[in-house]
Amino acid sequence: MVTLLIGANGQLGSELQQAFGDDGLVPLGHADLEVAEAAQVREAFARYRPDLILNTAAYHRVDECEDEPERAFAVNAIAVRNLVQAAGEIGATLVHFSTDYVFDGRQGRPYQEVDPPAPLNVYATSKLAGEYFVRATLERHFVIRTCGLYGLVGSRGKGGNFVETMLRLAREGREIRVVGDQVLTPTSAKDLAKKVRQLAETGQYGLYHITNSGECSWYQFAAAIFELAGMRPRLVETTSAALGARANRPAYSVLDNANLRSLGLDDLRHWRDALEDYLSDRKQITKEA
């Protein structure tokens, strides 16, 4: 069994490498494969003949996407079409990752897979288009929506992750302003990667929400990071309007792992427990370095 991992050195890609192990895994970085180039995708699939493809590649600097819609659609939608077409030709299964941002956040309760998406920004619209290419073209697929990812290597596209940014700002002694009017479920890339492996092994293709459990605002998440790390920076709750980001974001994008639950696989731990584990893992790494 050959598994091709696209975006292997990214935040989620690194955790998928751990979860899937070395046996039969072909890790490809951006330098090895540009997913927006259809010919390169076909060539890579012909060379490695994967049974399973894990695609973590994305253009996901959300505010930047507002000014770069062509690039957002090239990487998050058209490139995904390249992948599904090439996967279909060799009979491979594709695991593709999407986002909680496909929802507008006005529902007021956790979103299930059956709830209609209504993206508020370019990034989310391009990711939704990517989802549709997968679901319309390739039967053997897993489209996985997740939320607020953090992993040990940090997001390459975003230049780090929220936890590391908070810890750095606290070390710098700066006042830290974080929005309290966007509610989500922060999700450990390590927990997600393990669950992806379990899910892929079921062969139950389809659309899945996968996040840790519970919910919080970004402000509450920041407060928990500092509490668990034993730090007391000046943390101030602010609003999305006051921050004035270019892209609109959903006020409430908590996902309900309903389809995972129906398979008896929704045992992801609470986000706070996952955060505690992350902080202990990173401490261990810092000690070893």
Contacts of 109 (CB under 8 A, 6+ apart): none
Positions marked active-site: 123
Tell me if 195 contacts ligand NAP by CB under 6 A: no
Residue closer to ligand NAP, measured from CB, 230 or 277: 277
User: Which regions of 49-153 does DSSP assign to beta strands (E)?
Assistant: 52-55, 93-99, 141-146, 149-150
Query: What CA–CA distance (Å, rounded) separates 167 from 229?
Result: 8
Q: How far is the CB of 159 from ligand NAP (least distance, A)?
A: 9
Tell me if 97 contacts ligand NAP by CB under 6 A: yes
- Contact 275/228 with Cβ under 8 angstroms? yes
Contact with ligand NAP (CB under 6 A) among 51, 112, 115, 157:
157
Contacts of 131 (CB under 8 A, 6+ apart): 96, 98, 102, 143, 207
Contact with ligand NAP (CB under 6 A) among 4, 25, 54, 57:
57
Number of H helices, E strands in the chain: 12, 12
Q: How far is the CB of 4 from ligand NAP (least distance, A)?
A: 12
Tell me if 194 contacts ligand NAP by CB under 6 A: no
Stretch near ligand NAP under the rule CB under 6 A, chosen from 104-112, 140-148, 165-173, 246-254: 140-148
Tell me if 200 contacts ligand NAP by CB under 6 A: no
Contact string (CB under 6 A) for ligand NAP, positions 215-254, x = contact: ----------------------------------------
Do the strands 216-217 and 183-184 form a parallel or antiparallel pair, or are they unpaired? antiparallel
Nearest to 250 by CA among 155, 65, 150, 121: 121
Residue closer to ligand NAP, measured from CB, 60 or 141: 60
Query: What CA–CA distance (Å, rounded) separates 199 from 140?
Result: 13
Tell me if 75 contacts ligand NAP by CB under 6 A: yes
51 token code pair: 């049974």
Contact with ligand NAP (CB under 6 A) among 3, 4, 5, 13:
13
Q: Which residues bind ligand NAP (CB under 6 A)?
A: 6-7, 9-13, 29-30, 33-36, 56-60, 75, 97, 99, 127, 146-149, 155-157
